[in-house]
Structure 1
Amino acid sequence: MKIIDKIEQWGDAHHPAWLDFLRIGLGALLFFKGVSFISDTARIMELVSGLDIQLWTVTAIHYVAFAHIFGGFMIAIGALTRLAAIVQLPILITAVFFVNLRMGFSYLNSELWLSLLTLFLLVLFIVVGSGTMSTDEYMRKHNR
């Protein structure tokens, strides 16, 4: 537990303001990706059913949509950013290594590059946290 506390303290101390705008953009991207999953469930069911994983396709789609919409919103406003990013990790790891790599590792596979960038940013925000322009920081200052 000591290591996690040290990582959290380091992340809170080394958080430039431009990362807040990047966090808001990442949250908006995830939110709209969740909305697009709900809008095109047939395509998503096709992608998930092709994975040969023994789980319910409908459950997986609802988990992805729910996690992206609510997790993206929470990341965008900076509320429980680390927790919301951790909830996104299984989705992005599956997207990178099981879904998008099947389509090939080329510069034309834009979904793979978007998934890789999103995965990198999620790991970054797990380490550095939500920043100064966030709901977490507001609650920390005004909780007393």
Structure 2
Amino acid sequence: MTNVKSLNKWANAHTYLSVDLVRIAVGVFLFSKGVTFITNIQYLVELLAPFDKSNGGMFGMFMVHYIASAHFLGGILIVFGLLTRWAIIAQLPILIGAVIINFLGEMHSQNLIISLSLVAICIFFLIYGSGKHSADYFFKMDE
């Protein structure tokens, strides 16, 4: 807990508006992907098909619901900077899975670059936190 507090104090002392804008952009992107997956659930089922051959559909349906809701709710939390680290922890397995899917299935270089970039940005915000211009800072959750 003391490590998180010291990271937050360092991040708040070295915060920049551009970093907060990147956090907001990542949150909006994840929210829009969640909306896309909710409205076009068959696309997500097809993406997860290589992983769901042995369970008869149960694993795939669990993952579809987890991915869509985590992107949808996590994107909102990241945009507002509320519980940012927890939202990013929920996003990282999905994003790492997106990188793996590019190697197991059909390779799309644009999707791979986006996935790798999001993994790197999410790891940065996992360490950096939500910043000074966030709901966490406003509600004094960082101290």
The interval holding the TM-score normalised by the smaller chain is: 0.7 to 0.9
TM-score (norm 1): 0.85
In the aligned structure 1, how far is the partner of 2:2 from the partner of 2:10?
Answer: 12
After superposition, give the CA deviation of every residue in 1:60-106 in whole Å (9 maximum; x if it has no partner). Answer: 0000011000001000000011111111011011111x2122333xx
Deviation at 1:13, TM superposition (A): 3.1
Partner AA of 1:23 in structure 2: R
Give the aligned partner of residue 79 of structure 1. Answer: 82
Count of aligned pairs = 138
Query: What aligned pairs does 1:11-90 form with structure 2 within 5 A after superposition?
Result: 11-52=11-52, 56-90=59-93
SS at match of 1:140: coil
Aligned to 1:56, the other structure's residue is in SS state: helix
Match of residue 100 from structure 1: 102
**Which residue identity does 1:100 align to in structure 2?**
N
Question: Does the CA contact (< 8 Å) of 1:8 and 1:128 recur in 2?
Answer: yes
Unaligned 5+ segments in structure 1 are none
Letter of the 2:19 partner, please give it.
Answer: L
C-alpha displacement at 1:51, in angstroms?
2.6
What amino acid is the match of 1:18? S
Quote the Cα distance in structure 1 between the aligned partners of 2:86 and 2:9: 16
What amino acid is the match of 1:83?
A: W
Change (3 A) 1:139 1:4: closer
Distance 2:12 2:127 in 1: 9
| Distance (whole Å) between structure 2 residues aligned to residue 66 and residue 124 of structure 1 | 22
CA distance in 1 between partners of 2:140 and 2:5 (Å): 16
| Shift in CA distance, 74/60, structure 1 to aligned 2, threshold 3 Å | same
Percent identity over paired residues: 36
Secondary structure of the structure 2 residue equivalent to 1:29: helix
In the alignment, structure 2 segments of 5+ residues that lack a partner are none
- Root mean square deviation, CA, Å: 2.2
What's the CA shift for 1:50? 1.1
- TM-score where L is the length of structure 2: 0.85
